[in-house]
């Protein structure tokens, strides 16, 4: 089986992530969406919420599995999960400059190749940090996030059921939650 890993903090998941992961799903038999935890970072959403956003937002992709990833080395995670490739989205040359040394180290540590996919032009300017800032100031982020994320970042945009949606998706997560409901 040709398995790849798409790692990220997904704090929160946005349509740029979904676009890159969808393209990766067409290239590989299985894609593990590894929701990482970096204990040095301050997250807006809990690990369970971030996993739930991914399960919900990627449910239309049958060959995707959303899995939690601890704070260990990504190379070790790939080896332990039988992945031969990492998929990283690139918004600009700055992303490439940041990712290239890590790709080289991952190849050295675990013989895992990194596949870089340029982000579609509709999402090249989008980051989770920017979306959180815009939402906090009352800006319209609807074109850039799935509905469950929108309702959490902007509760007035939904019907108040966002917490229930996240809780329901989180209860489906057992460490190997899949893209199928």
Task: Say whether 132 counts as a known binding-site residue.
Answer: no
91 noted as active-site residue: yes
Other residues' Cβ atoms within 10 Å of the Cβ of residue 88: 21
Task: Say whether 123 counts as a known binding-site residue.
Answer: yes
Catalytic residue (choose from 3, 79, 91, 132): 91
Task: Say whether 47 counts as a known binding-site residue.
Answer: no
Those residues with Cβ within 8 angstroms of residue 59's Cβ, 6 or more apart along the chain or in another chain: 179, 180, 181
152 noted as active-site residue: no
107 noted as active-site residue: no
Instruction: Please calculate the CA angle 47-48-54 and round it to the nearest 5 degrees.
Output: 90
Catalytic residue (choose from 14, 36, 65, 128): 128
Strand 85-90 and strand 64-69: pairing? unpaired
Catalytic residue (choose from 14, 17, 65, 152): 17
Task: Say whether 48 counts as a known binding-site residue.
Answer: no
Contacts 24+ apart (CB under 8 A), 100-103: 102/74
Task: Say whether 125 counts as a known binding-site residue.
Answer: yes
Q: What DSSP character marks residue 13?
A: -
Task: Say whether 67 counts as a known binding-site residue.
Answer: no
Task: Say whether 128 counts as a known binding-site residue.
Answer: yes
Task: Say whether 40 counts as a known binding-site residue.
Answer: no
The pair of three-digit structure tokens given for residue 160, joined into one six-digit string:
């108040």
Supply φ then ψ for residue 142, to 5 degrees.
-55, -40
| Annotated binding-site members for ATP | 9-10, 17, 89-91, 99, 123-129
| Annotated binding-site members for substrate | 9, 41, 74, 88
| Annotated binding-site members | 9-10, 17, 41, 74, 88-91, 99, 123-129
* Residues recognised as catalytic: 17, 41, 91, 128
């Amino acid at each position: 089986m040709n398995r790849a890993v798409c790692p990220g903090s997904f704090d929160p998941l946005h349509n740029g992530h979904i676009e890159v992961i969808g393209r990766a799903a067409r290239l590989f038999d299985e894609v593990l969406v590894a929701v990482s935890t970096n204990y040095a970072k301050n997250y807006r959403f809990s690990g369970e919420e971030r996993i739930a956003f991914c399960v919900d937002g990627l449910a239309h992709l049958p060959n995707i599995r959303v899995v939690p990833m601890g704070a260990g080395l990504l190379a070790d995670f790939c080896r332990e999960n039988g992945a031969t490739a990492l998929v990283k989205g690139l918004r600009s040359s700055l992303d490439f400059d940041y990712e290239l040394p890590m790709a080289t180290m991952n190849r050295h540590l675990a013989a895992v190749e990194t596949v870089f996919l340029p982000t579609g032009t509709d999402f090249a300017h989008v980051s989770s940090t920017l979306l959180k800032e815009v939402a906090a100031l009352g800006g319209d982020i609807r074109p850039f996030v799935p509905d469950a994320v929108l309702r959490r970042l902007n509760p007035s945009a939904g019907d108040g059921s966002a917490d229930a949606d996240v809780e329901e998706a989180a209860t489906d997560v057992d460490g190997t939650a899949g893209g199928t409901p």
